[in-house]
Amino acid sequence: METLTLNSSDLKSQEYFLNMGPQHPATHGVLRLILTLDGEVVKNIEPDLGYIHRSIEKQCEYEGYKQIIHLTDRMDYLSAHINNEAVALAIEQALEIEVPERVKVIRTIMGELTRIASHLLWWGVMGMDVGALTTFMYAFRDREMINDIMEETCGARLTMSYSTPGGVMFDLHPNFQKRVKDFIPHLRRVIPQYDELLTGNVIFQKRMKGVGIMSHEDAISHGASGPVARGSGVSCDRRKKDPYSAFASRDIQFNEITFTEGDNLARYNVRMKEMLESLNIIEQLIDNIPDDGIQAKTKALIKLPKGEYLQRVETARGDLGVYIVSDGKKNPYRVKFRSPGFSNLNALIEIGKGHLIADLVAIMSTLDFVVPDIDR
Protein backbone atom coordinates (compact mmCIF):
# COMPACT_ATOMS: atom_id res chain seq x y z
CA MET A 1 0.00 0.00 0.00
CA GLU A 2 2.71 2.42 0.93
CA THR A 3 3.82 4.34 -2.14
CA LEU A 4 6.62 6.18 -0.43
CA THR A 5 9.80 4.95 -1.94
CA LEU A 6 11.82 6.76 0.65
CA ASN A 7 11.55 5.98 4.29
CA SER A 8 12.59 7.92 7.27
CA SER A 9 15.74 5.89 7.78
CA ASP A 10 17.08 7.44 4.57
CA LEU A 11 16.80 10.89 6.06
CA LYS A 12 19.67 12.87 7.41
CA SER A 13 19.12 14.20 10.90
CA GLN A 14 17.96 17.63 9.75
CA GLU A 15 15.62 16.45 7.07
CA TYR A 16 11.95 15.74 6.98
CA PHE A 17 9.32 14.76 4.45
CA LEU A 18 6.68 17.09 3.17
CA ASN A 19 3.84 15.71 1.17
CA MET A 20 2.92 18.28 -1.43
CA GLY A 21 -0.30 17.38 -3.14
CA PRO A 22 -2.32 15.72 -4.54
CA GLN A 23 -4.49 18.46 -3.11
CA HIS A 24 -2.35 21.53 -3.04
CA PRO A 25 -2.94 24.94 -4.59
CA ALA A 26 0.40 25.01 -6.38
CA THR A 27 0.29 21.62 -8.03
CA HIS A 28 -2.48 22.75 -10.38
CA GLY A 29 -4.48 19.62 -10.15
CA VAL A 30 -3.59 16.37 -8.61
CA LEU A 31 0.14 16.08 -8.89
CA ARG A 32 1.74 14.70 -5.78
CA LEU A 33 5.30 15.49 -4.89
CA ILE A 34 7.03 13.89 -1.96
CA LEU A 35 9.61 16.40 -0.89
CA THR A 36 12.56 15.85 1.35
CA LEU A 37 13.26 19.13 3.04
CA ASP A 38 16.01 20.57 5.13
CA GLY A 39 14.39 23.58 6.70
CA GLU A 40 12.77 25.02 3.64
CA VAL A 41 15.36 23.80 1.17
CA VAL A 42 14.22 21.03 -1.12
CA LYS A 43 16.67 18.15 -1.05
CA ASN A 44 14.80 15.60 -3.06
CA ILE A 45 11.64 15.46 -5.11
CA GLU A 46 9.73 12.38 -5.90
CA PRO A 47 6.65 12.68 -8.05
CA ASP A 48 3.77 10.33 -7.51
CA LEU A 49 1.42 10.33 -10.44
CA GLY A 50 -1.76 8.61 -11.38
CA TYR A 51 -4.34 10.53 -9.44
CA ILE A 52 -6.05 11.41 -12.70
CA HIS A 53 -4.86 8.50 -14.80
CA ARG A 54 -7.73 7.46 -17.03
CA SER A 55 -5.84 5.03 -19.18
CA ILE A 56 -6.59 6.91 -22.35
CA GLU A 57 -4.08 4.81 -24.29
CA LYS A 58 -5.82 1.61 -23.31
CA GLN A 59 -9.21 3.09 -24.10
CA CYS A 60 -7.99 4.04 -27.54
CA GLU A 61 -7.27 0.41 -28.30
CA TYR A 62 -10.98 -0.26 -28.08
CA GLU A 63 -12.20 2.76 -30.01
CA GLY A 64 -12.45 3.49 -33.69
CA TYR A 65 -10.11 6.07 -35.13
CA LYS A 66 -12.74 8.79 -35.29
CA GLN A 67 -13.62 8.14 -31.69
CA ILE A 68 -10.10 8.56 -30.36
CA ILE A 69 -10.21 12.28 -30.93
CA HIS A 70 -12.61 13.22 -28.19
CA LEU A 71 -10.41 11.42 -25.67
CA THR A 72 -7.46 13.63 -26.50
CA ASP A 73 -9.44 16.69 -25.43
CA ARG A 74 -9.24 15.38 -21.94
CA MET A 75 -5.50 14.99 -21.94
CA ASP A 76 -4.06 18.45 -22.11
CA TYR A 77 -7.34 20.24 -21.80
CA LEU A 78 -5.73 23.63 -22.26
CA SER A 79 -4.54 22.84 -25.75
CA ALA A 80 -7.44 20.56 -26.59
CA HIS A 81 -7.67 21.71 -30.15
CA ILE A 82 -4.02 21.02 -30.86
CA ASN A 83 -4.37 17.53 -29.43
CA ASN A 84 -7.34 16.89 -31.71
CA GLU A 85 -5.36 18.18 -34.61
CA ALA A 86 -2.45 15.88 -33.78
CA VAL A 87 -4.59 12.77 -33.92
CA ALA A 88 -6.36 13.95 -37.04
CA LEU A 89 -3.03 14.63 -38.70
CA ALA A 90 -1.70 11.23 -37.71
CA ILE A 91 -4.71 9.53 -39.24
CA GLU A 92 -4.53 11.67 -42.36
CA GLN A 93 -0.86 10.88 -42.66
CA ALA A 94 -1.66 7.18 -42.52
CA LEU A 95 -4.49 7.38 -45.00
CA GLU A 96 -2.57 9.81 -47.20
CA ILE A 97 -5.49 12.19 -47.38
CA GLU A 98 -4.88 15.71 -48.56
CA VAL A 99 -7.21 17.93 -46.56
CA PRO A 100 -8.63 21.12 -48.06
CA GLU A 101 -6.64 24.27 -47.60
CA ARG A 102 -9.49 25.82 -45.64
CA VAL A 103 -9.24 23.06 -43.07
CA LYS A 104 -5.53 23.64 -42.68
CA VAL A 105 -5.97 27.33 -42.14
CA ILE A 106 -8.86 26.88 -39.73
CA ARG A 107 -6.91 24.35 -37.73
CA THR A 108 -3.90 26.60 -37.52
CA ILE A 109 -5.89 29.64 -36.43
CA MET A 110 -7.73 27.56 -33.86
CA GLY A 111 -4.47 26.05 -32.69
CA GLU A 112 -2.88 29.43 -32.19
CA LEU A 113 -5.95 30.73 -30.38
CA THR A 114 -5.76 27.71 -28.13
CA ARG A 115 -2.11 28.40 -27.51
CA ILE A 116 -2.84 31.99 -26.53
CA ALA A 117 -5.66 30.86 -24.25
CA SER A 118 -3.39 28.33 -22.64
CA HIS A 119 -0.60 30.84 -22.13
CA LEU A 120 -3.05 33.35 -20.74
CA LEU A 121 -4.28 30.87 -18.19
CA TRP A 122 -0.71 29.99 -17.38
CA TRP A 123 0.12 33.65 -16.90
CA GLY A 124 -2.76 34.15 -14.53
CA VAL A 125 -1.87 31.11 -12.49
CA MET A 126 1.80 32.02 -12.57
CA GLY A 127 0.91 35.27 -10.87
CA MET A 128 -1.14 33.42 -8.30
CA ASP A 129 1.73 31.10 -7.57
CA VAL A 130 4.08 33.92 -6.78
CA GLY A 131 1.37 35.67 -4.77
CA ALA A 132 0.02 38.30 -7.15
CA LEU A 133 -3.61 37.36 -7.05
CA THR A 134 -5.01 39.92 -9.44
CA THR A 135 -3.27 38.55 -12.53
CA PHE A 136 -5.60 35.60 -12.49
CA MET A 137 -8.73 37.61 -13.15
CA TYR A 138 -7.11 39.77 -15.81
CA ALA A 139 -5.91 36.73 -17.68
CA PHE A 140 -9.28 35.08 -17.40
CA ARG A 141 -11.03 38.15 -18.74
CA ASP A 142 -8.97 37.93 -21.92
CA ARG A 143 -9.12 34.17 -22.13
CA GLU A 144 -12.88 34.40 -21.96
CA MET A 145 -12.88 36.14 -25.32
CA ILE A 146 -11.11 33.18 -26.87
CA ASN A 147 -13.49 30.79 -25.16
CA ASP A 148 -16.37 32.69 -26.69
CA ILE A 149 -14.79 32.41 -30.12
CA MET A 150 -14.38 28.69 -29.57
CA GLU A 151 -17.89 28.25 -28.30
CA GLU A 152 -19.35 30.08 -31.23
CA THR A 153 -17.63 27.91 -33.80
CA CYS A 154 -16.96 24.59 -32.09
CA GLY A 155 -19.87 24.52 -29.70
CA ALA A 156 -17.69 23.97 -26.67
CA ARG A 157 -15.43 26.18 -24.66
CA LEU A 158 -12.71 23.83 -23.58
CA THR A 159 -13.08 20.33 -24.97
CA MET A 160 -13.78 21.23 -28.53
CA SER A 161 -13.46 17.90 -30.38
CA TYR A 162 -13.26 20.11 -33.42
CA SER A 163 -10.88 18.35 -35.77
CA THR A 164 -11.93 15.13 -37.37
CA PRO A 165 -9.91 12.89 -39.65
CA GLY A 166 -9.98 14.72 -42.95
CA GLY A 167 -11.48 17.96 -41.82
CA VAL A 168 -13.23 19.85 -39.11
CA MET A 169 -16.60 19.30 -37.49
CA PHE A 170 -18.32 22.56 -38.37
CA ASP A 171 -17.65 25.39 -40.70
CA LEU A 172 -16.54 28.65 -39.21
CA HIS A 173 -19.24 30.76 -37.69
CA PRO A 174 -19.95 33.95 -39.68
CA ASN A 175 -18.88 36.01 -36.67
CA PHE A 176 -15.58 34.22 -36.34
CA GLN A 177 -13.41 36.62 -38.30
CA LYS A 178 -14.89 39.68 -36.67
CA ARG A 179 -14.43 38.30 -33.20
CA VAL A 180 -10.85 37.29 -33.83
CA LYS A 181 -10.10 40.69 -35.29
CA ASP A 182 -11.55 42.29 -32.19
CA PHE A 183 -9.50 40.09 -29.99
CA ILE A 184 -6.11 40.73 -31.60
CA PRO A 185 -5.88 44.48 -30.84
CA HIS A 186 -7.35 43.85 -27.41
CA LEU A 187 -4.61 41.44 -26.47
CA ARG A 188 -1.98 43.68 -28.03
CA ARG A 189 -3.24 46.41 -25.75
CA VAL A 190 -3.33 44.41 -22.54
CA ILE A 191 -0.03 42.58 -22.82
CA PRO A 192 1.96 45.76 -22.03
CA GLN A 193 -0.25 46.08 -18.97
CA TYR A 194 0.63 42.54 -18.02
CA ASP A 195 4.28 43.45 -18.34
CA GLU A 196 3.86 46.46 -16.12
CA LEU A 197 1.86 44.56 -13.58
CA LEU A 198 3.97 41.45 -13.25
CA THR A 199 6.94 41.12 -15.60
CA GLY A 200 8.60 44.38 -14.70
CA ASN A 201 7.82 44.15 -11.01
CA VAL A 202 11.04 44.12 -9.01
CA ILE A 203 9.79 41.45 -6.64
CA PHE A 204 8.80 39.21 -9.51
CA GLN A 205 12.10 39.74 -11.31
CA LYS A 206 14.01 38.85 -8.18
CA ARG A 207 11.87 35.77 -7.69
CA MET A 208 12.40 34.57 -11.25
CA LYS A 209 15.91 35.48 -12.26
CA GLY A 210 18.48 32.76 -11.85
CA VAL A 211 16.04 30.33 -10.28
CA GLY A 212 15.53 26.83 -11.62
CA ILE A 213 18.30 26.94 -14.19
CA MET A 214 18.22 24.17 -16.76
CA SER A 215 21.17 24.00 -19.11
CA HIS A 216 20.91 23.40 -22.84
CA GLU A 217 22.29 19.85 -22.50
CA ASP A 218 20.00 19.06 -19.59
CA ALA A 219 16.99 20.28 -21.49
CA ILE A 220 17.77 17.85 -24.30
CA SER A 221 18.61 15.03 -21.96
CA HIS A 222 15.41 15.54 -19.99
CA GLY A 223 13.43 15.42 -23.18
CA ALA A 224 12.06 18.85 -22.43
CA SER A 225 10.14 20.53 -25.19
CA GLY A 226 8.07 23.57 -25.90
CA PRO A 227 8.62 26.81 -24.03
CA VAL A 228 10.52 24.94 -21.33
CA ALA A 229 13.21 23.80 -23.75
CA ARG A 230 13.17 27.06 -25.67
CA GLY A 231 13.87 28.88 -22.42
CA SER A 232 17.10 26.87 -22.32
CA GLY A 233 18.03 27.78 -25.87
CA VAL A 234 16.93 24.56 -27.52
CA SER A 235 15.32 25.32 -30.83
CA CYS A 236 12.54 22.77 -30.95
CA ASP A 237 9.45 24.42 -32.33
CA ARG A 238 7.67 21.79 -34.41
CA ARG A 239 5.94 24.54 -36.34
CA LYS A 240 9.35 25.49 -37.72
CA LYS A 241 11.14 22.20 -37.70
CA ASP A 242 8.59 20.01 -39.30
CA PRO A 243 5.68 22.19 -40.31
CA TYR A 244 2.18 20.83 -40.41
CA SER A 245 -1.20 22.23 -41.47
CA ALA A 246 -0.99 25.81 -42.65
CA PHE A 247 2.58 26.10 -41.49
CA ALA A 248 3.46 23.73 -44.30
CA SER A 249 1.07 24.97 -46.96
CA ARG A 250 1.38 28.69 -46.35
CA ASP A 251 4.34 30.94 -46.02
CA ILE A 252 3.82 32.12 -42.47
CA GLN A 253 6.33 34.53 -41.03
CA PHE A 254 6.93 34.11 -37.35
CA ASN A 255 9.86 33.87 -35.00
CA GLU A 256 10.78 31.00 -32.83
CA ILE A 257 11.34 32.52 -29.42
CA THR A 258 14.38 31.17 -27.65
CA PHE A 259 16.17 32.40 -24.58
CA THR A 260 19.48 31.03 -23.44
CA GLU A 261 19.37 31.68 -19.70
CA GLY A 262 17.34 28.60 -18.92
CA ASP A 263 15.92 30.06 -15.74
CA ASN A 264 12.38 30.81 -14.68
CA LEU A 265 12.44 34.24 -16.23
CA ALA A 266 13.54 32.85 -19.59
CA ARG A 267 10.70 30.37 -19.64
CA TYR A 268 8.33 33.11 -18.58
CA ASN A 269 9.52 35.44 -21.31
CA VAL A 270 9.26 32.72 -23.96
CA ARG A 271 5.59 32.31 -23.24
CA MET A 272 4.89 36.02 -23.06
CA LYS A 273 6.55 36.58 -26.42
CA GLU A 274 4.94 33.51 -27.93
CA MET A 275 1.53 35.00 -27.36
CA LEU A 276 2.48 37.92 -29.57
CA GLU A 277 3.92 35.59 -32.19
CA SER A 278 0.70 33.62 -32.19
CA LEU A 279 -1.17 36.85 -32.77
CA ASN A 280 1.09 37.49 -35.76
CA ILE A 281 0.32 34.07 -37.16
CA ILE A 282 -3.40 34.57 -36.76
CA GLU A 283 -3.19 37.99 -38.34
CA GLN A 284 -1.50 36.54 -41.40
CA LEU A 285 -4.17 33.91 -41.84
CA ILE A 286 -7.41 35.47 -40.73
CA ASP A 287 -8.01 37.60 -43.80
CA ASN A 288 -7.58 34.97 -46.45
CA ILE A 289 -9.25 31.78 -45.42
CA PRO A 290 -9.81 29.91 -48.68
CA ASP A 291 -13.20 28.43 -49.40
CA ASP A 292 -12.68 24.86 -50.53
CA GLY A 293 -14.75 22.81 -48.15
CA ILE A 294 -14.23 21.65 -44.64
CA GLN A 295 -14.00 17.92 -45.11
CA ALA A 296 -11.90 15.68 -47.31
CA LYS A 297 -13.52 12.48 -48.44
CA THR A 298 -13.12 9.77 -45.84
CA LYS A 299 -14.81 6.48 -45.36
CA ALA A 300 -17.41 6.19 -42.65
CA LEU A 301 -15.37 3.50 -40.97
CA ILE A 302 -11.72 4.38 -41.01
CA LYS A 303 -9.18 1.59 -41.17
CA LEU A 304 -5.54 2.52 -41.21
CA PRO A 305 -3.20 0.47 -43.33
CA LYS A 306 -0.80 -1.73 -41.44
CA GLY A 307 2.15 0.15 -40.10
CA GLU A 308 3.09 2.71 -37.54
CA TYR A 309 2.60 6.42 -37.68
CA LEU A 310 4.05 9.20 -35.63
CA GLN A 311 2.76 12.73 -35.73
CA ARG A 312 4.37 15.46 -33.70
CA VAL A 313 2.77 18.81 -33.13
CA GLU A 314 3.60 21.80 -31.02
CA THR A 315 1.03 22.18 -28.27
CA ALA A 316 1.08 25.01 -25.80
CA ARG A 317 3.19 22.83 -23.52
CA GLY A 318 5.54 21.41 -26.07
CA ASP A 319 6.04 18.50 -28.33
CA LEU A 320 3.07 16.17 -28.42
CA GLY A 321 3.70 12.93 -30.22
CA VAL A 322 0.85 10.73 -31.35
CA TYR A 323 2.19 7.30 -32.12
CA ILE A 324 -0.29 4.93 -33.68
CA VAL A 325 0.49 1.31 -34.41
CA SER A 326 -2.09 -0.16 -36.73
CA ASP A 327 -2.64 -3.77 -37.63
CA GLY A 328 -5.17 -2.92 -40.32
CA LYS A 329 -8.24 -3.34 -38.15
CA LYS A 330 -10.77 -0.70 -37.29
CA ASN A 331 -9.21 -0.20 -33.88
CA PRO A 332 -5.63 0.86 -33.43
CA TYR A 333 -3.32 -1.79 -32.08
CA ARG A 334 -1.50 0.59 -29.82
CA VAL A 335 -1.72 4.33 -29.33
CA LYS A 336 0.88 6.23 -27.43
CA PHE A 337 0.58 9.86 -26.54
CA ARG A 338 3.99 11.20 -25.83
CA SER A 339 2.90 14.14 -23.73
CA PRO A 340 5.18 17.12 -23.25
CA GLY A 341 4.28 17.51 -19.60
CA PHE A 342 5.54 14.06 -18.75
CA SER A 343 9.05 14.82 -19.91
CA ASN A 344 8.98 18.30 -18.43
CA LEU A 345 8.05 16.79 -15.09
CA ASN A 346 11.21 14.77 -15.37
CA ALA A 347 13.12 18.02 -15.53
CA LEU A 348 11.46 19.27 -12.35
CA ILE A 349 12.93 16.40 -10.37
CA GLU A 350 16.38 17.72 -11.04
CA ILE A 351 16.07 21.47 -11.34
CA GLY A 352 13.84 21.75 -8.29
CA LYS A 353 16.50 20.40 -6.00
CA GLY A 354 18.35 22.83 -3.78
CA HIS A 355 15.68 25.51 -4.00
CA LEU A 356 13.29 26.81 -1.40
CA ILE A 357 9.67 25.65 -1.42
CA ALA A 358 8.60 29.04 -2.72
CA ASP A 359 10.98 28.62 -5.65
CA LEU A 360 9.82 25.10 -6.29
CA VAL A 361 6.32 26.46 -6.67
CA ALA A 362 7.56 29.09 -9.09
CA ILE A 363 9.52 26.50 -11.07
CA MET A 364 6.51 24.24 -11.29
CA SER A 365 4.56 27.17 -12.53
CA THR A 366 7.03 28.02 -15.28
CA LEU A 367 7.18 24.38 -16.34
CA ASP A 368 3.41 24.77 -16.80
CA PHE A 369 2.07 21.36 -15.87
CA VAL A 370 -1.34 20.19 -16.78
CA VAL A 371 -1.69 17.07 -14.72
CA PRO A 372 -4.15 15.17 -16.94
CA ASP A 373 -1.55 15.61 -19.66
CA ILE A 374 1.08 13.95 -17.48
CA ASP A 375 -1.12 11.12 -16.28
CA ARG A 376 -3.18 10.62 -19.43
Partner 1 sequence: MNNELKAEIENQFDQAVFDEETSKYLIVEIAPASYLDLMQTLKTKGFDYLFSMTGMDWGKELGVTNHLENSQTGEMIVVKVKLTDREKPELPTLEKIWKTAHLHEREIYDLFGINFKGHSVMKRLLLSEDWEGYPMRKDWHDETKMIIR
Partner 2 sequence: MILTNTTNYFGQLVNYLSEQMGIGGQILAYVLVAAIYLSFFAVAGLLLVYVERRVAAFFQLRLGPNRVGPHGLLQTIADALKLLSKEIFGTNRKDNLLYKTAYYLVIIASLVSLSVIPFSRGIQAFDINVGVFFISAVSSVGVLGILFGGWGSNNKYSLIGGMRSGLQMISYELSSGLAIITMVLLAGTLQMSGIIEAQRDTWFIIKGHIPALIALFIFVVAGTAESNRTPFDLPEGEAELGAGYHSEYSGMGFAYFFLAEFINMFIISAVGVTLFFGGWLAPFHLTDSLPWQPLWGAFWFFMKVAVFIFFMMWFRWTFPRLRIDQLLTLEWKYLLPIGLVNIILMAVLVYYNILISF
Partner 3 sequence: MSYLGDVIGGIKTLMKGMKVTGSYFFPNVINKKYIITRQYPDEPAIVMERFKGEVVMWHNENNEHRCTGCQACEIACPNGSIEIIWNRVLNEETGKKVKQIDKHIYHLGMCTMCNLCIQACPTNAIMWSTNFHNSTYDRSKLTKVLNKPGSKLMAGVEE
Nearest in space to 75 (alpha carbons), one of 165, 156, 158, 191: 158
Q: Are strands 41-48 and 307-314 parallel, antiparallel or unpaired?
A: unpaired
Rounded CA gap, 236 and 219, in Å? 11
Nearest in space to 60 (alpha carbons), one of 341, 323, 358: 323
Rounded CA gap, 321 and 339, in Å? 7
Burial category of 185 from C-beta neighbours within 10 Å (exposed 0-12, middle 13-18, buried 19 and up): exposed
The smaller minimum CB distance to partner 2, of residues 99 and 360, is found at 360
Rounded CA gap, 346 and 358, in Å? 19
Helix (H, G, I), strand (E, B) or coil at 47: strand
Site string for partner 1, 325-344 (x = CB under 8 A): x--------x-x-x---xx-
The smaller minimum CB distance to partner 3, of residues 36 and 161, is found at 161
Outline where 97-230 has alpha helix (H). Answer: 101-129, 134-154, 176-194, 202-208, 216-221, 227-230
The region of 13-21, 54-62, 107-115, 197-205 touching partner 1 under the rule CB under 8 A is: 54-62
The smaller minimum CB distance to partner 2, of residues 128 and 270, is found at 128
By the rule CB under 8 A, 256 interacts with partner 1: no
Q: What residues between 216 and 275 interact with partner 3 by CB under 8 A?
A: none
Choose which of 3, 9, 13, 288 interacts with partner 1 (CB under 8 A).
3
By the rule CB under 8 A, 70 interacts with partner 1: no
Q: Which residues of 292-308 are buried (b: 16+ CB within 10 A; e: fewer)?
A: eebbbebeeebbbeeee
Question: 207 is in the binding site of which of partner 2, partner 3, partner 1, none (Cβ under 5 to 8 A by kind)?
Answer: partner 2
Least separation in angstroms between CB 32 and partner 1? 11
Residues 6+ apart with CB under 8 A from 369: 27, 28, 29, 31, 341, 344, 345
Q: What residues between 308 and 327 interact with partner 1 by CB under 8 A?
A: 308-310, 312, 319, 321, 323, 325
The smaller minimum CB distance to partner 1, of residues 234 and 275, is found at 234
Site string for partner 3, 111-150 (x = CB under 8 A): -----------------------x--x---x--x---x--
Nearest in space to 76 (alpha carbons), one of 364, 261, 320: 320
By the rule CB under 8 A, 222 interacts with partner 1: yes
Least separation in angstroms between CB 169 and partner 3? 5
By the rule CB under 8 A, 151 interacts with partner 3: yes
Max CA distance (Å), the chain: 70
Q: Using CB under 8 A, list all residues that contact partner 1.
A: 1-3, 5, 46-50, 53, 55, 57-58, 62, 218, 220-224, 234, 236, 241-242, 306-310, 312, 319, 321, 323, 325, 334, 336, 338, 342-343, 345-347, 349-350, 375
